[in-house]
A and B are shown apart, each in its own frame.
Chain A
């Protein structure tokens, strides 16, 4: 029961705090690609892989009082902060989840911007294509983001560091 919710709670618990909805979306997707068994279904959207199921499940966790969501008013947009509550920690304790250790990967992801994670997750979305075609896809599907050559090579290096078995 609610195993998928519990897996996300483990993510929030280990992450301590996640800043930004877009970043949260991309972090879970990238972890999925690292074989961490989150089961939320993703589709490609304007800003890269996005899971409506994840959005709704996080809303459920907030409504249940397991995750605290704080809305911060930036100058021309809002940013959301997520952290686990005491009730959330108690809920999580009742599960014995068989999850691989993803602490290190999580730390790497947390240190990156949402723009960069959008690039990485988009590259991973096309991981069935050869490298040059992946880069071509990035430029074709995301012309407005204007990703530089340096950013793209940094993203490849980052993917290698994550040791993703493609």
Chain B
């Protein structure tokens, strides 16, 4: 009896897998988890959208620490998931290793790159998005002074800074940009108290808009903007709602679109490995405009931004890329 039952169950399983043939997608998030209101949340949103529109089977796992990243990916691969999405640059090494072990499985790596042919690495042109919000900051600044507060002092955030500064200077060459970093250790991502101090200091020196790619530390800058009645520009996800009326805009990294696109390609059987660098042209980066900041962005500003955006896409404006600068100084030439 038990045996026949087991055969029956097996048969049903087989039948269902043949009939439905839904694509199984494994989504591996990093420490932030699906509610981090930022990077992971965006990836989860993209995957959910794919689940609704494309009818995939989605399994999401949040890693509680960096050590469990690799086993998570391996378990997905062993269970026969054809597509595994790994979110966050901390997963790079894990993806590289597991992708080599399972060459037939497809991987998507968000925010970092690797050479393996079965991995689709998606990175973003942060400097282009930063250029755009820099231009908007300069357009809206009355004091001709704007600020930049980065989290940890690493090349990726320097890339934001260079893009932002170029955007500001493009609109108003006379404008001054104050630059600060919260710190040089990973504590710098979660030190809102310090970030608020930096923001108060910049506002006090005359800056009236501050761009803040600083992770959770950024919340301190939002507090400072509220206290001094000045403006702040959010980062990564749409943060306009955090302090309505005080957030000029947010620079967006469209992780949701990147994840959705990768899943869509897989369902069409058109998955391709390699490095995909998403900029303004690919809608990979953008700035946000919604009911919370509608009154802060005038139609004139919006028209100007649209023009700048088109010019960047057409490559009439070259946005300096910190990564390229680094390579130049690194090479002996």
A and B are partners in one complex rather than unrelated chains: no
Q: Which residues of A contact B (CB under 8 A)?
A: none
